[in-house]
Structure 1
Amino acid sequence: MWIIDNENDGTPEHPIQMPYVNYSGLVRDFTDDVYSFVDKHEEMELRSYAEILKENGIEWGMDSMSTAVVENLDAKCVFAMILGAVRAERFCDGALLGFFANGSVIRWLERLKALDTDGENVAAK
């Protein structure tokens, strides 16, 4: 939910707060889980998510990541897109909301599920 300051008038006594997204606990848990996964699986080198995306012909941006054909991507690249979406929020309020709203996050999670058809951890593959 976007929080927009409609109470203050912009004077020095009542400065207007910049709009921001107030994410639900579920989304905050999701981002915590993403960072936890990155920390636990250093062998995947996901901190280099922008390079991983670039190697797969995907730019770190809303359009390129949202339109990427995930059916041909491996788990490492899909995780890199997820981390890229989470990191984008740090630079642009509402970026992560955009990836949720346009269905990208669901597509990425569904791809990971498809890669994990045998019930093993996709990080081990």
Structure 2
Amino acid sequence: MNTYTKLTAYLPILEADNFGKWIVDSKSKGTIESPIQMPYVTYSRMVRHFIDDVYTFADEYQEYGLYSYNDILFENGIEWDNVSMSEVDTSTLDGKCITALLMGAIRADRFSEGALLYFFETGTITKWLNRLKEIDEKKES
């Protein structure tokens, strides 16, 4: 089995998924008795499974050091922000860096609600997974 198969298996599923949606409180009045809840994202089942699988991959391939994703991104000249991560040319990046991008996107959502949704909706996650698939295919030949 190829290294990234568990992650790249999501490629056909991404086409049919809505990823998630923003929940915005429009019913509360913003008073002490009826405070407004902060907006948040509810992710689809597929996205929640994807997150679990990225963490599982990080645990299975500890030699990648994916919990230090920011260091890996820095070593590759990538800033940990939506623009830098989504616009990076992936054609020369290795699997370690691509999986660090995935981990970075997931962790970004902890600090900036909706960051992960952005990466899914813009096709960035698909681009990264396609690069992992390409890396696996090169290993086969």
Please say whether Structure 1 and Structure 2 have the same fold, judged by a TM-score greater than 0.5. yes
1:69 to 69, 80, 89: 89
Question: 1:91 maps to what in 2?
Answer: 111
Q: In 1, Cα distance between the equivalents of 2:86 and 2:80?
A: 10
Per mean C-alpha deviation after superposition, the further-off stretch among 110-119 and 19-28 is: 110-119
Establish whether residue 81 from structure 1 lines up as the match of residue 137 from structure 2.
Answer: no
Using structure 2 for the length normalisation, give the TM-score. 0.82
After superposing on structure 2, the runs of 4+ consecutive aligned residues of structure 1 that deviate more than 3 Å are none
Listed one character per residue, the Cα deviations across residues 72-123 of structure 1 (whole Å, up to 9, x for unaligned) are 0000000000000000000011000111111110000000000001676xxx
Query: Which structure 1 segments of 5+ residues have no match?
Result: 121-125
Q: Secondary structure at the match of 1:2?
A: strand
Where does the alignment leave 5 or more consecutive residues of structure 2 unmatched? 1-20
Q: How many Å separate the matches in 1 of 2:46 and 2:78?
A: 27
Give the alignment's TM-score, normalised by structure 1: 0.92
CA RMSD of aligned residues (A): 1.1
Residue 137 of structure 2: SS of its match in structure 1? coil
**Paired residues, number:** 120
Distance 1:109 1:119 in 2: 16
Q: Equivalent residue of 2:25, what SS?
A: coil
For 1:13, what is the secondary structure of its paired residue?
Answer: coil
